[in-house]
């Protein structure tokens, strides 16, 4: 009996171990990013060309007001472009990806006349109010209680201004910034040099005179805009903020100016892209066409379903 007992016990132990391994949940896999459709913009330059004759052109997959949010994705996503950008040139890459994952996706144009190719140039608090009206329209037509905001550059900070300061906190779930100008930038040191030689004030006087105040508002650490945005805390209770920055940013500099600190009741995740994908070379302009960033955005929008990132080669300006 003893001679039989040992092999039997070994078989039982092996079967138990095999069963235990089989019952272990499989580790999550990276999300796949569908390839861009032929002819779709692949960077901000081709996006700008594609919107030249129609500056209010919608990116593919956006602004379908018949879209009804699902139980899996109850918050429509509102995409907010940056300075000198527009919805089409900024979001023709990310918008179809979000749509393919079942989101209702909307893209706002703000901060300039409809006929202007270059937008995001007006007074930023006024732009925040404009975005607020867009959000209210999205909520009214989709029936959603809240939206998630994804903004590039100025789009990240103006989205936070709306969410934090002018009534957006009850209407927003997540605020996601891609290289957001959450604090004043030196623009790779050019403004520091310009202030040293006395050239900055005349330049900003000229840009303000022709109606481009957002340029100075983002460059002046003592501006009323940044004082109001950050002076009483950088977050609001109940909101979740995710900021994705690249070490190769040449516009929002130093790149950590994109990051913020969580206050009471808020959640903040600050991500340096190269900490996730070491070989990613994307810069300030290429970040909106980077499939590595698309995966991070999907993680940001789905905090309960975090996936590893399948890193691809990404270049300055051109993205992936």
Q: What is the CATH number of the domain that holds 291?
A: 3.40.50.1820
The 10 Å CB-count burial string (b at 16+, else e) for 150-163 is bbbbbbbbbbbbbb
For the entire predicted model, the pTM comes to 0.88
| Mean pLDDT in residue range 156-178 | 97
pLDDT exceeds 80 at position 195: no
- Per residue in 6-33, pLDDT tens? 554 555 455 544 444 445 667 789 898 9
pLDDT value, residue 214: 80
Residue 87's domain comprises: 36-301
The band of 213, judged by pLDDT with boundaries at 50, 70 and 90, is confident
pLDDT value, residue 147: 98
**Number of structural domains the chain divides into:** 1
22 or 58, higher pLDDT: 58
pLDDT value, residue 86: 97
Residue 292 forms part of a structural domain: yes
Element (H, E) at 46: helix 44-50
- 135-140: list long-range contacts, CB under 8 Å, 24+ apart: 135/78, 135/162, 135/168, 135/171, 135/172, 136/171, 138/65, 138/76, 138/78, 138/106, 139/76, 139/171
pLDDT value, residue 12: 47
Give the whole-number percent of the chain exceeding pLDDT 70.
84
pLDDT exceeds 50 at position 290: yes
Residue 19 forms part of a structural domain: no
Residue 21 forms part of a structural domain: no
pLDDT value, residue 6: 56
What mean pLDDT is reported for the chain? 88
Residue 7 forms part of a structural domain: no
Q: Are 77 and 97 in contact (CB under 8 A)?
A: no
């Amino acid at each position: 009996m003893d001679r039989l007992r040992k092999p039997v016990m070994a078989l039982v132990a092996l079967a138990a171990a095999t069963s235990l391994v089989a019952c272990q949940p499989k580790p999550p896999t990276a999300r796949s990013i569908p390839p861009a459709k032929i002819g779709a913009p692949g960077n901000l330059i081709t996006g700008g060309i594609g919107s030249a004759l129609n500056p209010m052109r919608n990116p593919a997959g956006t602004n379908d007001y018949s879209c009804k949010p699902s139980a899996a994705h109850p918050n429509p996503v509102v995409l907010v472009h940056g300075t000198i950008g527009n919805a089409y040139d900024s979001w023709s890459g990310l918008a179809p990806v979000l749509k393919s994952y079942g989101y209702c996706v909307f893209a706002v144009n703000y901060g300039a006349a409809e006929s202007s190719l270059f937008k995001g140039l007006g007074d930023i608090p006024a732009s925040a109010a404009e975005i607020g009206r867009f959000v209210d329209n999205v909520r009214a037509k989709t029936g959603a209680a809240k939206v998630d905001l994804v903004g590039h550059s100025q789009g990240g900070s103006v989205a936070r201004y709306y969410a934090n300061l002018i009534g957006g906190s009850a209407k927003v779930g997540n605020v996601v910034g891609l290289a957001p100008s959450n604090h004043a930038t030196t623009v790779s040191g050019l403004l520091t040099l310009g202030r040293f030689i006395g050239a900055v004030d005349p330049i900003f006087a000229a840009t303000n005179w022709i109606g481009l105040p957002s340029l100075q508002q983002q460059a002046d650490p003592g501006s009323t805009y940044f004082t109001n945005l950050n002076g009483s805390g950088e977050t609001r209770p109940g909101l979740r903020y995710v900021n994705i920055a690249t070490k190769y940013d040449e516009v929002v500099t130093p790149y950590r100016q994109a990051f913020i600190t969580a206050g009471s009741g808020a959640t903040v995740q600050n991500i340096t892209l190269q900490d996730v994908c070491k070989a990613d070379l994307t810069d300030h302009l290429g970040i909106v066409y980077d499939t590595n960033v698309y995966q991070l955005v999907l993680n940001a929008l789905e905090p309960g379903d975090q996936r590893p990132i399948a890193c691809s080669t990404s270049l300055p300006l051109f993205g992936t």
